[in-house]
Structure 1
């Protein structure tokens, strides 16, 4: 088996305005909205760390500095908690090692592909991961997270990988969709990609679900990428051009995905994760049952 170059860098495109959650996101980045007691971006960073990723690259925009501050040391808070004999371990995951967090700006909202391209100088000539924090991916109890599953697959086959999930056919026009080739367990060869196809033209019901491992050549493709669906520079279009030149596979995630870019999905994620918590699950279930009566 050929040894693959390790995945040590991850790009988090977090420059979006979060307009679907206004007015809550007027002054607070949507990535800091909490699912129970952890912000969305924390779930994504924790998933990256579990997969062995060491450097987090945030592609930000104006008004998003609070995301970086979340991973800084809060001296006043920690001092006050220490004086009050409060447990500081709750903050452990929010403290980044110096140099682990890097930010770049996407000055103009030109799409996901453009956001990823903004990180080209930091990615350099290394394979890298991409996390869309809106997509909350939760592994099954006792199992590994989505990116760890993908890294394990990458170590076997190399090339480019994307996470996929199956959805009802009537929903495919809202997502990037793969044209599937040979299947081997959770791995599916990708022979084509299309962004938000009409239902009648969709090659499958397997949608791209917010996690990627890509080779650095995608940056060169994005360099000259024209506008695609929605008048934006689409990452899906750039990845499609790489099919056939490098190995390209999809990994069907063994776990649950919550679309926290929508209000309903956000509420679903909050309820699901609260119900799974040992410290509050029973109480939340009782509340839900009472409200449903």
Structure 2
């Protein structure tokens, strides 16, 4: 099974810090380490047994590809200057990279989450996981095909909102002005190949949103299940990034 990690957004809510450093590469103190967000997500998925990855990047995200390219000369340098701990940490990360199949897909323009997912279609032939690399969990729960994570918030308007009946998804709305629910999508999904057909059916003049593809499948009678989670770390804005770090370190 493949895991798709999307990291192509412009990160405008993190400017000016994200002008040259992708927000997905911002460091987080996590589980006694200090690592980039996208590395933490990769390692969490790796530890769940996933070995096939597709990372969607955009313009100015070359540093992400560099980070996932082992640099053993640098490891040797660290060992030479007595930085054995840092060298071991990099070797552990590089070992996971070497044991994985990682492909990078380019999203030349920021045309939406749905467009980013649609671009990975050539790599997928079965069910697959999608994770946005600006949201972190303490632990990634198990998902089933046609399911995603949700959490309850005070103000759901900036997010994809989910209308539920028990754990069954009735409808989804992208950033509604008048939300019908306080449950929002936490961007950890498991899809089947059908999501690609649905995304191609979406008629839009601007960004292609993933929620629109889900809506089409719901209208066709495809059942989606929502799994509720707590301790969600939204790292997509400066305010949320700072608040999440404070929450993580207690």
**1:271 partnered with 2:246:** yes
**Aligned position for 2:224:** 248
Mapped to 2, the partners of 1:94 and 1:70 lie a distance apart of: 10
Which one has the bigger helix percentage? 1
- CA spacing shift, 1:66–1:260, aligned 2, 3 Å: same
SS in 1 for 2:203: coil
**1:214 partnered with 2:206:** no
TM-score by length of 1: 0.77
Equivalent residue runs for 1:135-284 within 5 Å: 135-138=135-138, 145-146=139-140, 149-151=141-143, 154=144, 159-168=145-154, 171-181=155-165, 183=166, 188-199=167-178, 202-227=179-204, 231-243=206-218, 244-253=220-229, 255-275=230-250
For the pair shown, the structure with the greater C-alpha radius of gyration is: 1
**1:34 partnered with 2:27:** yes
Q: Is the 8 A contact 1:150 1:251 kept in 2?
A: no
Deviations 1:270-291 (A, max 9, x none): 223334xxxxxxxxxxxxxxxx
CA positional deviation for 1:246: 2.7
SS in 1 for 2:149: strand
RMSD of equivalent CA atoms: 1.8
Q: Matched residue pairs, number?
A: 241
Deviations 1:14-53 (A, max 9, x none): 1112122222222211111111321110121122123322
Deviations 1:169-212 (A, max 9, x none): xx12211111212x3xxxx011211111222xx33211101111
**Aligned position for 2:65:** 68
**Aligned position for 1:130:** 130
